Structure 1
Amino acid sequence: MNIKNTFATILFLVWIAASVSCTKQNDKPNIIFIAVDDLRPDLGCYGNTIVQSPNIDRLAAEGILFRNHFVNVPTCGASRQSLLTGMRPATRAHLGNNITEHTLSNKAEGTVPETFIHHLKRNGYRTVGIGKISHSADGYIYGYTDSISQKRELPHSWDELIFNYGKWETGWNAFFGYADGENRQSLNRQVKPYEKGAVSDTGYVDGLSAQLAVSKLKKLKANGKPFFLGVGFFKPHLPFNSPEKYWDLYDKESIPISPNPLVPQNVHPNSLHNSGELNGYQLGEEKANLTQPVSDEYAQKLRHAYYACISYVDHQIGLILKQLSKLDLDKNTIVVVWGDHGWHLGDQQVWGKHTVFENALKSAFIIKLPGNRNSGPISSIVETVDIYPSLLELCNIDMSHEIDGKSFARLIQNENSQWDNVAYGYFREGISLRTDRYRLTRYYREEKPVVELYDHQNDPLETTNIALEHPDVVEKLMPVLEKGNTGLFE
């Protein structure tokens, strides 16, 4: 064979290899990951007959609803760190909102990817972020009252970060924004914790984020590469602001207050808190605390506002799903809706997250796979750290590094598969273990009691700590709980 023919043969083989590689890459499923801030499982698909969430409910009916998903840390930044890295908190610093900035933002790119998004990027995915995926409102690091910086919170994960700041001019202003363009910071917290805005959907920033996502999907389809599109909606995070048409979906008088509005029996107040985040909105009509519950009327008003925000975000999610179908991308796209933690809506006399009770640790989590396959609910217990390896397995992408999370892909195929069925939560100097029946919590503090046990078979609202009455259960579960203490509390 002469040199000319040899060279032609080599070019042909290279072309074949490239074609095979391209075909394999294009066969990878796309991912739309929708993170919803402070979304507890108060949705129609989770059995709430008051909340109007038709688009998320439809997604759940077509996909997989995880009935028992628990976050690892009940605060925004730390919960998202566990999501992105697949790791449970290892130090007290990992319980703070700025943990991603401290551990990833100044780190050079190494062999181990900084996040699962980075791992997808290394495997041929086009990665685009809109809004709050890590802790930052727009993906850049700067203070609540600062100008926008160009320093990325995740320096290696994104091909592209986009955001429409609208009339608020910065991500954090938009995050805490009101319909007139002001925000919590500019008004020195002299604001109510809710607003019924006489505006359209784009009168608040989540409407602008949905528009960006709808527009970006066209470009991502034209690009031809598999893509990861992260969309981080702000509501129903405080302030509970949304257009009035979503408030008008509800009759406030028909909205029930919490079925468990009082501090649980046999617990120390340090297991809870005085709702400081809510009370920071200083024009609220009442102040919540552990001494005196708010009035039923005010509790209904706050729940009304929270539910209106859910319906507002549900509509934005519906716009994205509609565009996905219109572009015929739904046939090869995994769609995820994830709440970064729960929220006490007056439960246990608390308004907010930041506890290791069920209401703060349990959040909404839904996955829809291409072609509506494997639809149906899953009752097994999963943790946020499990999402990382599960998405990689669903995309047929290997990983050589170890993380704390484990793939639940086997549960999607067969829920009777072998599974540990436990979840760990961390906060308030405590570790909480959730099993299929019990929640066992141990606090590493001086104030007693330091051990709490709740029987979800007989007390699903966690009204009474029964640790002293059932030492046998505590003794059995404590070694399992201690497996989750990796030196965090010593």
Structure 2
Amino acid sequence: MKGILVCSLAFGLLVTLAFIPQRESQPQRPNVLFICIDDLRPDLKCYGNPVVHSPNLDRLARQSVLFTRQYVTQPTCGASRYSLLTGRLPRNPVDITNEALEKQVSGKPRTDEPETFIDQLRRNGYYTVGMGKISHSPDGYVYGYNDPKSNQLELPHSWDEMLFDAGKWKTGWNAFFGYADGSNRQGQQSKVKPYEAANVADEEYPDGLTANLAVAKLKELAGRKQPFFLGIGFFKPHLPFNAPQKYWDLYDEAKIPLTPSPTIPENVNPASLHESAEFNQYALGDEQASLEKPVSDAYARKLRHAYYASVSYTDAQVGKVLAALNQVGMAENTIVVVWSDHGWHLGDYRVWGKHTIFEQAVRSVLLVKTPGMKTGAVRNEIVSSIDLYPTLMELCGLQAPARLDGKSFSVLLKKGKPADWGEHAAYSYFKRGITVRTDRYRLTRYFRAQEPTVELYDHQQDPNENRNVADAHPDVVKRLMPVWEKGNTGLFK
């Protein structure tokens, strides 16, 4: 009798449970692998440059959506990353400097508003790991080029772990400007060349150590029952253009083409450009760059060779990380983003460096691979780096903060032509100038005395921005000025 009673109670409990609404199991949020590459202009084979050897990024591009016209807000490392991480346009003079994150984020108490999109992911259950240059500092900590490493994080609330292997260089800044023998630019008082080809293994330069660190961390993250964000910041092809000899050997220097823009653009004041100061501080360079005259063709080819070798070296490190992601079985549920913080002038307009608001300096690489979404597509719509924050939030099923300036481009990751993307513009800021890139034009206005202060480039007729046609087309300037005004945040008075 007792056994019958127990069975009856158990049956009744099962019947009761059957009629209680069951909570649906929540799908696992996607992981995020975010790879930042310093000073990489869109000179990859997948972007149409047949000379460059970039097999790993090219393979990723075939599995991703490749954005041909993604623009950063500032053509300098720290400021560009500040906008990317916060999803905001610059509003204060410090916002367009390399100290933007140090001054605006580091050392601040935690508030209700996330300091970065990484912080927002962390607040919503993600385990966040950074290594290398994600913010401005090469290892995520605030200290001077010649100082010992500090304990002050550049992004104090974003990371569960911030890692870096400085190797024989001892500190992040020494590694960032490091040479294969363990020396560095600042330690040598800039008496160094802007390039190096050493017959060494990948790990004898810092990015090789970072790739190894990332591979080991991915194996560890695979065992966690928690979605992760892993940010990896590779240094090259930032100056100095140093890479193992085997990557130099991929190129025939004599066949490397020179810039299609060897002179200062027509109707442009030299104040819109610069004298390549960052490049020229490498005192043992073969020649000094100047707006007065170009470097020799032979030296220009050598420098392009060095830059491309550095690109190929970084491409190999990216390949190691992507292979590890596959090997640990997490590729199917991981968003992969490859982004570069700005472009670089390789002799364009006689400039060697970034720090202009021309196309070559503010257009950068963006590849986005998303589980279950469109792959192998090429998108020509205009997008901005500030659009990445809201996009990642949407892809991860999270709410984006209300104060963002960016717009999610997740519709561009799906199949078919998006019905609701519409006209979009990208704004960039530097040298007391604001520029807007629309589908056909670039309109720039400078807050300065040197004329002309307004520049207009027609990309349908002049894709390399060799002619300022503002005076010839005042009607176009007038039509675009309201679009330009939308990006005027009051930064320049």
Q: Shorter-chain TM-score: what band?
A: over 0.9
1:164-216 per-residue CA deviation (whole Å, 9 max, x = no partner) reads 11000000000000000000011000000000011100010000000000000
Between the aligned partners of 2:407 and 2:465, the Cα distance in structure 1 is 28
Identify the residue that residue 248 of structure 1 maps to in structure 2: 249
Between the aligned partners of 2:199 and 2:50, the Cα distance in structure 1 is 26
The answer to whether the 8 Å contact 2:210/2:234 transfers is: yes
> What amino acid is aligned across from residue 262 of structure 1 in structure 2?
T
Identify the residue that residue 236 of structure 1 maps to in structure 2: 237
SS in 2 for 1:192: coil
Between the aligned partners of 1:478 and 1:107, the Cα distance in structure 2 is 37
Identify the residue that residue 3 of structure 2 maps to in structure 1: none
The answer to whether the 8 Å contact 1:129/1:162 transfers is: yes
2:430 counterpart (427, 431, 434): 427
SS in 1 for 2:381: strand
Identify the residue that residue 353 of structure 1 maps to in structure 2: 354
Report how far residue 345 of structure 1 moved: 0.2
Between the aligned partners of 2:87 and 2:216, the Cα distance in structure 1 is 30
Between the aligned partners of 2:44 and 2:372, the Cα distance in structure 1 is 24
2:443 counterpart (435, 440, 443): 440
Identify the residue that residue 285 of structure 1 maps to in structure 2: 286
The answer to whether the 8 Å contact 1:177/1:183 transfers is: yes
Change (3 A) 1:20 1:182: farther
The answer to whether the 8 Å contact 1:66/1:365 transfers is: yes
TM-score, normalised with respect to structure 1: 0.95
Identify the residue that residue 71 of structure 2 maps to in structure 1: 70
> What amino acid is aligned across from residue 111 of structure 1 in structure 2?
D
Matches within 5 A, 1:22-33: 24=26, 27-33=28-34
> What amino acid is aligned across from residue 477 of structure 1 in structure 2?
L
Between the aligned partners of 2:373 and 2:252, the Cα distance in structure 1 is 34
SS in 2 for 1:445: coil
SS in 2 for 1:246: helix
Matches within 5 A, 1:41-52: 41-52=42-53
1:261-315 per-residue CA deviation (whole Å, 9 max, x = no partner) reads 1110101110000000100100001000100100000000000000000000000
1:237-278 per-residue CA deviation (whole Å, 9 max, x = no partner) reads 000000000000000000011011111010111000000010
Matches within 5 A, 1:149-298: 149-298=150-299
1:451 counterpart (447, 451, 454): 454
Gap runs ≥5 in structure 1: none
> What amino acid is aligned across from residue 77 of structure 2 in structure 1?
C
> What amino acid is aligned across from residue 285 of structure 1 in structure 2?
D
SS in 2 for 1:79: helix
Report how far residue 419 of structure 1 moved: 2.6
C-alpha RMSD of the superposition = 1.7
Between the aligned partners of 1:56 and 1:374, the Cα distance in structure 2 is 14
The answer to whether the 8 Å contact 1:133/1:139 transfers is: yes
SS in 1 for 2:295: coil
> What amino acid is aligned across from residue 378 of structure 1 in structure 2?
R
2:437 equivalent to 1:461 = no
Matches within 5 A, 1:8-47: 24=26, 27-47=28-48
The answer to whether the 8 Å contact 1:112/1:401 transfers is: no
Between the aligned partners of 1:127 and 1:475, the Cα distance in structure 2 is 47
Change (3 A) 1:454 1:373: closer
Identify the residue that residue 86 of structure 1 maps to in structure 2: 87
> What amino acid is aligned across from residue 283 of structure 2 in structure 1?
Q
Identify the residue that residue 485 of structure 1 maps to in structure 2: 488
2:418 equivalent to 1:416 = yes
Between the aligned partners of 2:391 and 2:477, the Cα distance in structure 1 is 31
Identify the residue that residue 365 of structure 1 maps to in structure 2: 366
Task: Indicate the structure (1 or 2) with the bigger Cα radius of gyration.
Answer: 2
TM-score, normalised with respect to structure 2: 0.94
The answer to whether the 8 Å contact 1:386/1:408 transfers is: yes
SS in 1 for 2:368: strand
The answer to whether the 8 Å contact 2:62/2:375 transfers is: no
Report how far residue 469 of structure 1 moved: 0.3
1:441-474 per-residue CA deviation (whole Å, 9 max, x = no partner) reads 0000011000000110000011110000000000
Number of equivalent positions: 475
Report how far residue 372 of structure 1 moved: 6.3
Per mean C-alpha deviation after superposition, the further-off stretch among 45-54 and 364-373 is 364-373
Between the aligned partners of 1:162 and 1:406, the Cα distance in structure 2 is 31
> What amino acid is aligned across from residue 462 of structure 1 in structure 2?
E
The answer to whether the 8 Å contact 2:373/2:413 transfers is: no
Report how far residue 371 of structure 1 moved: 4.5
The answer to whether the 8 Å contact 1:287/1:294 transfers is: yes
Between the aligned partners of 1:78 and 1:65, the Cα distance in structure 2 is 24
Change (3 A) 1:20 1:129: farther
Between the aligned partners of 2:423 and 2:86, the Cα distance in structure 1 is 20
Between the aligned partners of 2:30 and 2:428, the Cα distance in structure 1 is 31
> What amino acid is aligned across from residue 212 of structure 2 in structure 1?
Q
Report how far residue 373 of structure 1 moved: 3.7
The answer to whether the 8 Å contact 1:330/1:371 transfers is: no
Change (3 A) 1:297 1:159: same
Report how far residue 224 of structure 1 moved: 1.8
Per mean C-alpha deviation after superposition, the further-off stretch among 413-422 and 394-403 is 413-422
Report how far residue 399 of structure 1 moved: 2.4
Change (3 A) 1:337 1:95: same
1:130-165 per-residue CA deviation (whole Å, 9 max, x = no partner) reads 100000110000000000001000000000011111
Identity score, percent: 57
Change (3 A) 1:361 1:170: same
Identify the residue that residue 477 of structure 2 maps to in structure 1: 474
